[in-house]
Amino acid sequence: MTENTPDRARTRFPGISSRAYEHPADRSALVALRSLTGFDVVLRKMSGLFNERALRLTFLAGTVRAGEDQFRNVYDMVRDASYILDMPEVPEVFVRQDPTPNAMAIGSDHPFIVINTGLIDLLDDEELRFVVAHEVGHILSGHAVYQTMMQILIQLGSRLAWLPLGNIGIAAIIIGLREWFRKAELSADRAGLLASQDIDAVKRTMMKLAGGTRLTEMSSEAFLQQAREYDAAGDVRDGLLKFLNLLPQSHPFAVIRFAEIDRWAASGEYDRILAGDYPRRDDDGSASVTEEIRNAANSYRDSWERTADPFIGKVKDVADAAASAAGGLFDRFGGRRDNGPTSGSSN
């Protein structure tokens, strides 16, 4: 790709692997999928059900493609983020007239970015830079391809809804994919921060997505406190309601994203990557599925330990009790296998 010098000094990450910024739950799923022999063939077959060429032509006809002469500012941001994250190809970007503040990365062979005018109108340049880099991060991770799969399954599920049990299995898969994609959104937020290198702009973006443009009426500290209050709110019933509210969502709620990026920026991982300590794409083939699954499990456990949500606490208590019971059962039978039955036992 052509190297385009960023419009202000930022650290560049030559050869960076998406594993550097991916949330552990997202990363373990991606590493496992990438390691499956023949999965890329299946993926392309499924993607064939989704006509990327026709979709791109639709956007080419009905939106504005950013470039040297149209939405030059947005176009430069895409090139800038691609340069910093060392993307092999600069994706196309289309601006769509839609007041909903949203953006997306779609496609398989040549993913492209779509940004709604509602988002451009809502954000200042540094906030928009973060959003553009967020979408570039989706593409670098391959999320656009897997999101296409999810869209195919959603369409397939709607077609099978008339069957008594036809939609149940697909619905379960979609719920799982949505849980993964919510973690993928946290990954893309990290990519957005790495490319924009402006944590305040990232936080402002989350606050604007929740409360609009009147930042003078908002406080980042109060918003973070709001996130903590949401985490600990109510009793077990409220925790269950939060869980049910989240199930249909493709993105985590704004206060959750705000708290997560704040935690990651302060964790030391962000600073290590800025210092040049990050995994390279050349080593992706040797990534361990087992290790990444272990990292994902540790991440969920850590988040359970951090949360003050009483519902999660009850779930954790049940899970711990089940694990202890299972461990005792295995120890009991394992001891019998190792030592043989004890003579005169009354059990």
Active site residues: 135
Opening angle at CA 284, ends 278 and 287, nearest 5: 95
Decide: residue 200, CB within 10 A, 0-12 exposed, 13-18 middle, 19+ buried: exposed
Long-range pairs for 61-69: beta carbons < 8 A, 24 or more residues apart: 62/96, 63/94, 63/95, 63/96, 63/97, 63/114, 64/94, 64/95, 64/96, 65/92, 65/93, 65/94, 65/95, 66/93, 66/94, 66/95
Helix (H) or strand (E) holding 183: helix 166-196
Q: Which amino acid is at 133?
A: A
- Measured distance CA(222)–CA(312) in Å, rounded: 24
Distances (CA, A) of 50 to 85, 95, 133, 256: 28, 21, 25, 32
The answer to whether residues 266 and 272 touch, using CB atoms and an 8 Å cutoff, is: no
Tell me the two tokens of residue 174: 């979609």
DSSP-assigned letters across all residues of 65-86: E-SSSSSHHHHHHHHHHHHHTT
Map residue 89 onto helix, strand or coil: coil
Residues contacting 1, CB < 8 A, separation 6+: 82, 83, 87, 88, 89, 90
* Residue of 136, 168, 203, 125 whose CA lies nearest to 211: 203
Opening angle at CA 212, ends 210 and 217, nearest 5: 100
The answer to whether residues 96 and 114 touch, using CB atoms and an 8 Å cutoff, is: yes
The answer to whether residues 105 and 112 touch, using CB atoms and an 8 Å cutoff, is: yes
